[in-house]
Amino acid sequence: MEPVTVITGGSRGIGAATARRLARAGHHVAFGYRRDHDAAQAVLADIHAAGRRGLAVPADTTDADQVTALFDAAADLGDLTGLVNNAGVTSPIGPFVDLDAGDLRRVVDVNLIGYVLCAQQAARRMSAGGAIVNVSSAAATLGSPGEYVHYAAVKAATDTLTVGLAKELAPRGIRVNAVAPGIIRTDIHAVSGVPDRPDTAAGRIPLGRAGEADEVAAAIAWLLTPDASYTTGTVLRVSGGL
């Protein structure tokens, strides 16, 4: 059976690198995104260039109906075998006491509610087993003091979601794992107000540099392969030693 994988937030950053890598590895890929249509079309063209079927679907993962529509569309590619829960946001870096309530709700909505809604759709549809990878963060164990403690806490919830779902879905042949990136060179840091963070943070990363999106995609892709057939409920850190 040819793998069919849904990726959320596949238009840019880690999700886009994962879409491209999975297509090269033989997956048909349906990915969701929110608003960057041009970036989404570029990723879709690369999936097709790899000889795979692909779909780019505008779908906000915080909206249950849009999530259902994403998975309904993906069904056109074949039976679902994989989900990469990746669409995530941070909020402006700053002291915890200054955290805006709207930013807090957005971080919980996208990084937790969205992951749960998508995992639920995947679990319902993976009738012949499959694999789910949740993109967490090294922040879950570091806590991100002075930056975004709320984001770190929500990523820790992602890790718990991973452990619980792995146990609940194991009898159905569905493996559930997480990847926890450190500081990766993507647009997410601009949203946090520090676009140069991958460079300024390099000195405190044991490997001495920020990571690239494709280095995270490689770990995600491995967790989706049969080589990871006995791996479930784990959080794989991809953080240069952070």
Binding status of residue 8 toward ligand NAP by CB under 6 A? yes
d(CA 174, CA 130): 5
Report if residue 55 touches ligand NAP, rule: CB under 6 A. Answer: no
Residues binding ligand NAP: what is the number (CB under 6 A)?
A: 30
The binder of ligand NAP chosen from 30, 47, 50, 135 (CB under 6 A): 135
Stretch that binds ligand NAP, among 71-79, 87-95, 97-105, 163-171 (CB under 6 A): 87-95
Indicate which residue of 33, 148, 151, 230 is catalytic: 151
Rounded Cα distance between 226 and 132, Å, is 13
Q: Could you give the CA distance from residue 171 to residue 211 in angstroms, rounded to a whole number?
A: 35
Work out whether 137 is an interface residue with ligand NAP (CB under 6 A).
Answer: yes
* Residue 71 in tokens: 């998975």
> Alpha-carbon distance 34 to 220, whole Å?
21
Residue 131 C-beta: closest distance to ligand NAP, Å: 18
Instruction: Say if residues 94 and 145 touch (Cβ distance below 8 Å).
Output: no
Contacting residue, 5, 11, 81, 162, with ligand NAP by CB under 6 A: 11
Run of H or E residues at 210: none
* Identity of residue 213: A
Question: Based on CB atoms, which residue is closest to ligand NAP, 128 or 190?
Answer: 190
Q: Does 84 bind ligand NAP (CB under 6 A)?
A: no
16 token code pair: 């886009």
Under the binding rule (CB under 6 A), the answer on residue 70 touching ligand NAP is: no
Q: Residue written as tokens 């915890």?
A: 96
Residue keyed to tokens 């059976």: 1
Q: Which of residues 148-207 bind ligand NAP (CB under 6 A)?
A: 181, 183-184, 186-188
Q: Are 231 and 177 in contact (CB under 8 A)?
A: yes
Interface of this chain with ligand NAP, residues 14 to 53, rule: CB under 6 A: 14-15, 32-36, 39
Q: What are the residues whose beta carbons fall under 8 Å from the beta carbon of 227, sequence distance 6 or more?
A: none
User: For the chain, what is the radius of gyration of the CA atoms?
Assistant: 17
The answer to whether residue 33 is catalytic is no
The interface region with ligand NAP, picked from 11-19, 73-81, 117-125, 170-178 by CB under 6 A, is: 11-19
For ligand NAP, the closer CB: 160 or 229: 160
Return the residue of 5, 30, 60, 224 that touches ligand NAP, per CB under 6 A. Answer: 60
Element containing residue 70 per DSSP (H, E):
helix 64-74
In angstroms, the CA 154 to CA 170 distance is 24
> Which of the residues are catalytic?
151
- Residues of this chain that bind ligand NAP (CB under 6 A): 8-9, 11-15, 32-36, 39, 60-62, 86-89, 110, 114, 135, 137, 181, 183-184, 186-188
